[in-house]
Amino acid sequence: MMNLLDYNREDLGQFFTEWGEKPFRATQVLKWVHQLGITDFDQMTNLSKTLRQRLQTETSLTIPQIVTEQISVDGTRKWVLELADGNRIEMVFIPEDDRNTLCISSQVGCALDCSFCSTAQQGFSRNLTVGEIIGQLWLAEHHLRSQDIYATDVQQRAISNVVLMGMGEPLANFKNVVKAMNLMRDDFSYGLSWRRITLSTAGIVPAMERLKQECPVNLAVSLHAPTDELRNELVPINKKYPIAELLEACCDYIKNENRRKITFEYVMLQDFNDSPKQAQQLAKLLRNVPAKINLIPFNPFPNSPYQRSSQARINTFRDILINAGLITVTRKTRGDDIDAACGQLVGRVFNKRQGHTKPITMQPRIMG
């Protein structure tokens, strides 16, 4: 059965036209579902009874199920969500003084195999559907609202910012991710401006060009190394799209856009990519790129081969970049008591590559 959550405004307009309905039914349904959180067609009182019944029998509104909710001492929440086929993904809610950010997943597992990321160890199962991507925002928004949790900077909205930084490589699921982002931006659903949406990529260069054409949201790029030799090892997709090509694509992405910058993520791995010399190489590399650098202290996971850089090393690294004129911040580690930090999301992935199912047992540690 078709899931109406997979449809954006344009799709719904077409759909209703095919049913002989007025196209404005699309905005009515979007409002019910996304703005008001209503999934029971019977409650959509501005639709005719016949239409409601037809929707009821011929379509569905399928939303991922919350399996567990863990709340960190710092207020960060991590939800494990189960999809219709039994796969599980994770999403994270990060409340801050001036914004509430939701970090969502774009794939079940990930195929890119970055050596420092726990999602990579699960292998890759499949792309998320549009409904499964926008369904994460739907769930968080309406669940938090039902608990009277609102963002301070936007009225009557729980989530003010969305980052595609959960499980998966969003640009490897381009079509569905862009359609879901269209829904995030649509005034009849979530009305988030592109400034409040950030997509993080390991650097799929051709898709960056398409993103600029189709849905130019903020871009974060997982750089993690100042040389191709080291980046090949940490982020293997670098062998296909090496640093020079990647940085050119970054500059193109923001060309002719005033005041925009690319965020570069750089995970701090002790004695691996965190030396003063590497900081200097990085500064040189980015000297002509409108950049913001986000240093992410490595978040360990079981059997990970790396250690988090010491605070002293992180500070030295940061100061070298700042002295070279680069805007640099160290990302605060949030929710690490519930394994909700960057690179710790695992879910449960029915792994196609390994040809067998590999359940990851979550140990819910409910706090707060």
Nearest by Cα to 29 from 211, 282, 14: 14
263 secondary structure, DSSP code:
E
| Binding-site size, ligand SAH (CB under 6 A) | 16
Shortest Å, Cβ 165 to ligand SAH: 4
232 secondary structure, DSSP code:
H
Applying the rule CB under 6 A, the residues between 133 and 162 that interact with ligand SAH are none
117 binds ligand SAH (CB under 6 A): yes
Residue from 28, 62, 122, 200 binding ligand SAH (CB under 6 A)? 200
Q: Could you tell me if 197 and 185 are in contact, meaning their C-beta atoms sit under 8 angstroms apart?
A: yes
- Both tokens of 293, joined, read 């650098």
CA distances from 261 to 137, 152, 198, 326 (A): 25, 25, 12, 11
- Both tokens of 253, joined, read 């992405």
267 binds ligand SAH (CB under 6 A): yes
Shortest Å, Cβ 116 to ligand SAH: 5
239 secondary structure, DSSP code:
G
Residues sharing a CB contact under 8 Å with residue 330, sequence separation 6 or more, in sequence order: 294, 295, 296, 297, 314, 318
Shortest Å, Cβ 96 to ligand SAH: 18
Residue from 104, 158, 202, 219 binding ligand SAH (CB under 6 A)? 202
- Both tokens of 336, joined, read 């690490």
Closer residue to ligand SAH in complex, CB, 160/200: 200
Indicate which residue of 103, 110, 250, 342 is catalytic: 342
Shortest Å, Cβ 106 to ligand SAH: 7
Closer residue to ligand SAH in complex, CB, 47/117: 117
Q: Binding segment for ligand SAH among 77-85, 114-122, 135-143, 356-364 (CB under 6 A)?
A: 114-122
What is the DSSP code string of 337-367? GGT-STT----BEEETTTTEEEPPPP-----
Q: Binding segment for ligand SAH among 110-118, 244-252, 279-287, 317-325 (CB under 6 A)?
A: 110-118
Closer residue to ligand SAH in complex, CB, 154/289: 289
Applying the rule CB under 6 A, the residues between 295 and 324 that interact with ligand SAH are 296, 298-299
116 binds ligand SAH (CB under 6 A): yes
Q: Binding segment for ligand SAH among 7-15, 29-37, 194-202, 359-367 (CB under 6 A)?
A: 194-202
Shortest Å, Cβ 272 to ligand SAH: 12
Shortest Å, Cβ 304 to ligand SAH: 7
Shortest Å, Cβ 171 to ligand SAH: 8
User: How buried is 46 (Cβ within 10 angstroms: 0-12 exposed, 13-18 middle, 19+ buried)?
Assistant: exposed
> Is 265 a residue of the active site?
no
Residues sharing a CB contact under 8 Å with residue 75, sequence separation 6 or more, in sequence order: 95, 368
Q: Residues 184-188: contacts with CB within 8 Å, 24+ apart?
A: 184/134, 184/137, 185/215, 186/8, 186/9, 186/30, 186/34, 188/9, 188/27, 188/30, 188/31, 188/34, 188/35
Indicate which residue of 21, 90, 209, 233 is catalytic: 90
Residue from 127, 129, 173, 201 binding ligand SAH (CB under 6 A)? 201
> Is 96 a residue of the active site?
no
Closer residue to ligand SAH in complex, CB, 83/165: 165
3-state SS of 126-162? EECCHHHHHHHHHHHHHHHHHCCCCCCCCCCCCCCEE
Instruction: Measure CA 331 to chain center.
Output: 16
Catalytic residues: 90, 342
Using CB under 6 A, list all residues that contact ligand SAH: 114, 116-117, 165, 169, 200-202, 222, 265, 267, 296, 298-299, 342-343
